[in-house]
Amino acid sequence: MKLRSILYIIFSVMVLNHGYAGNPDRQGEAGAAELLLIPWAKSAGMNNIATAMIKGLESMNLNVAGLSGVNQTDILMGHTKYLVGTDININALGVAQRMGKSVLAISLTAMDFGAIEVTTTDQPDGIGATYSPNFFNLGIGYSYTYENKISVGVALRVISESTADLSALGVAIDAGVQYVNGPQDNFKFGVSIRNVGTPMKFGGEGLTTRAENPDGQVSYELTYDQRAASFELPSQLNIGMSYDLYWLTVNRFSFVGNFTSNSFSKDEVGLGLEYGYKDLLFLRTAYKVEVGNTATGASAGSVYTGLSAGMGVDIPFGKNQGKKLGIDYAYRTTSPWNGTHNLSLRLNI
């Protein structure tokens, strides 16, 4: 009971702080939006609303308490073609290891923007050179299972954004809780807080400029450092529930609901369904919508129109039935552009 009380107090404080953080006047003011992107196919197929039921390494990007679903050792690789037509890709890699009732994990997510033309005010069509920003984040997560019913987790994430002459660095903390109940653990409830951390600020030689000596008596140039404004991280609160319905033992239907409160964008509500056959074949679909208006009363929403779908196959190998090779794919519709494709390869050993 002591652990439950401590967790209750921690999450009550975090939820209250988050509740007062967001309002329409702040929408669009956060940076590091890559923290909200989905690098894994299983999560993308469910539109990242499976706060209550997500398990394994993918939980690092939604509810870190789900790391409790790692049985022994998990290795996960993901590739995303983000907003097809923009030539932006996302690559991710993660490893998790169970140690008794605890699980320790590490994940790395990086964005590939391709080659971008270098332009100047004098040569707006380009100077013949290219550059590519470096956006990546490294996360270390820990999960603990309490009384086989409650899982808690926390993750520390380092965020880096840079070009050749500019860089910004930040640190964020994620935390989550999952609770299961029912004769077959049918009912699941989850809460997670994401991206609560330090403001980020760009600095470097790219912010320097040369200008004339201000006293005007002697003509010579000085080098000045311009000040960049800091920006907050896109923190959010997720609350989700799910219920598993079994038919003829081998068929599982998981009904999922989720509410997301965003500090710097409109809130979201989502519903989803995952079908599993013998824990070998999986079909997923979800629909998520934004609720509320902007500060000006406009209702323009996210680039994602709401619908997602995906499928996955788990292939057992070896004498140990716990060893599996998993392949998952997901597609999410977007407007504009031509959707987002996710592909993941998972190894459970």
Average pLDDT (224-229) is 86
CATH of the domain at 249: 2.40.160.60
Instruction: Indicate the number of domains in the chain.
Output: 1
Ranges assigned E (strand) in 30-100: 73-82, 88-99
Average pLDDT (93-115) is 95
Whether 328 is in a domain gets the answer yes
Query: In percent, how much of the chain has pLDDT > 90?
Result: 62
Whether 133 is in a domain gets the answer yes
Q: Are 240 and 224 in contact (CB under 8 A)?
A: no
Whether 281 is in a domain gets the answer yes
Q: Which residue has the higher pLDDT, 180 or 213?
A: 180
Whether 65 is in a domain gets the answer yes
Average pLDDT (42-52) is 95
Chain segment 321-345, per-residue pLDDT in tens: 678 999 999 999 988 889 999 999 9
d(CA 268, CA 140) in angstroms, rounded, equals 27
Whether 157 is in a domain gets the answer yes
> Could you tell me the pTM of the whole model?
0.88
pLDDT value, residue 19: 47
Q: Give how far the C-alpha of residue 248 lies from the chain's centroid of Cα atoms, to the nearest Å.
A: 35
**Which of 26-35, 102-111, 260-269, 283-292 has the weakest average pLDDT?**
26-35
Whether 216 is in a domain gets the answer no
Burial degree of 340 (CB within 10 A; 0-12, 13-18, 19+): buried
Whether 224 is in a domain gets the answer no
Whether 6 is in a domain gets the answer yes
Residue-number span of the structural domain to which 141 is assigned: 2-201+229-348
d(CA 185, CA 178) in angstroms, rounded, equals 12
Q: DSSP secondary-structure letter at 31?
A: -
DSSP run (H or E) holding 313: strand 304-316
DSSP 190-220: EEEEEEEE--B--BSGGGEEEEE-TT-SS--
How does residue 200 score in pLDDT terms, banded at 50, 70 and 90? very high
How does residue 7 score in pLDDT terms, banded at 50, 70 and 90? low
**Which of 49-53, 94-98, 132-136, 305-309 has the weakest average pLDDT?**
305-309
What's the mean pLDDT when you consider all of the chain? 88
